[in-house]
Amino acid sequence: MSSHVELDGSHGEGGGQILRSALALSILTGRPFKIANIRANREQPGLRPQHVACVKAAGAICGGLYKGASVGSSVLNFEPGEVKAGTYAFGIGTAGATGLVLHTLYLPLALHGKEVSNLTITGGTHVPHSPSYHYNATTWSGHLSRIGIDIQLEMKRPGFYPRGGGEVSASVQPCLRVRGLNLTKCPDLTTAGGFAAVAGLPEGIARRLARRAAERLKREEIESHIPLEEWQGGPGAVVGVLFRQLTVPPLFVAIGERGQPAEAVADAAADEALKFRAAKAPVDAHSADQLVLPLAFSPDASEFRAAEISTHLTTNIETIRKFLDREITVEGDEGSPGVVRIAASGL
């Protein structure tokens, strides 16, 4: 395996995930990389502000060198340095997802940082097609805690598209050893929790969100309690459905968009939650692609059943293989439930 890694950013899922995983893997392995055709098939190809923020943040925590970190750039070269734990502040400058910057940085800081790191990230906290603050604080950090990675999150203020302005703080503890994961069984899911929240909008919208989500779950014989919340800032509306019967509760979030009825927003969250329930798997599709990266750095074998084998998951596995010689197999077809296995490293 050569030291320098070449990546095609249009391959597989073809989005920003290839870049984020490559940045983390580069820092952790000490291998520089070049990525071309970044997001080539997207409506706005090349790097967007949140991707540029990820590159600059990755460079900041390790003294890395990079070329091509500008909006619209389709090629990036990155050469990592040595990780330095500490206190960092990163601003995306738009409503770009704060969670995606965090996903880029946490593993290098946890595994190579010699002391706690405190991060402040400003931008979007609840952005469509990105992990929301509440998902990260509940499901993502819950899975990481189970494998030995301790991250504490706090939302100082929410940030919605297009205004942004949200702020999240994260405390990343050093991790001496990532534990393997064995998670293949799922109980019958008969109860649900969650929340319906508004920021800078009438409380009646939150009531409509909660009522519709509860109605949809009730039709499938799921009893639920979805409390209402009011946040400062905004404007924005969010609804989440949570299954607490699982060891790590999966949270399914839908975010309101201008002109969209509250009932349609609630339907989106309920649809995702019910699809997960039907799969009878303990790991949601988003967690599946997020888990393979830290588990690839565990000396232990891992096995988990995912509610969906997504293109994000298979693309992330292929990116990991570019940097690491680790046996990772997937049993199941894309779009269907399946099992992910990571062989013991022998370290």
202 Cβ contact list (under 8 Å, min separation 6) = none
Check if 312 is active-site: yes
* pLDDT attached to residue 129: 87
Domain 5-179 matches domain 191-279 at the CATH topology level: no
CATH number of the domain at 191-279, please?
A: 3.30.360.20
The single residue of 51, 112, 143, 312 carrying the catalytic annotation is: 312
Is the Cβ–Cβ distance between 101 and 121 less than 8 Å? yes
CATH number of the domain at 5-179, please?
A: 3.65.10.20
Average pLDDT over residues 240-245: 97
Average pLDDT over residues 162-184: 95
* pLDDT attached to residue 121: 97
* pLDDT attached to residue 347: 53
Asked if residue 279 has pLDDT above 80, the reply is yes
Give the start-end residues of each E strand in 131-224. Answer: 151-157, 166-172, 182-183, 191-199, 223-224
* pLDDT attached to residue 346: 62
Asked if residue 234 has pLDDT above 90, the reply is no
* pLDDT attached to residue 2: 53
> 207-224, pLDDT tens digit by residue?
999 999 999 999 999 999
Asked if residue 1 has pLDDT above 50, the reply is no
User: CA–CA separation, 47 vs 19, rounded Å?
Assistant: 9
Looking at per-residue pLDDT, the higher value among 15 and 124 belongs to 124
The residue extents of the domains of the chain are 5-179, 191-279
Looking at per-residue pLDDT, the higher value among 324 and 43 belongs to 324
**pTM of this structure:** 0.95
> 126-158, pLDDT tens digit by residue?
998 899 999 999 999 999 999 999 999 999 999
> 51-92, pLDDT tens digit by residue?
999 999 999 999 999 999 999 999 999 999 999 999 999 999
Average pLDDT over residues 303-312: 97
Exposure pattern of 85-120 as b/e (b: 16+ CB <10 Å)?
Answer: beebebbbebbbbbbbbbbbbbbbbbbbbeebbebb
196 Cβ contact list (under 8 Å, min separation 6) = 206, 207, 209, 210, 213, 226, 227, 228, 229, 238, 239, 240, 266
Side-chain half-sphere exposure of 247, counting CA atoms within 13 A: 14
3-state secondary structure of 210: helix
User: CA–CA separation, 41 vs 317, rounded Å?
Assistant: 20
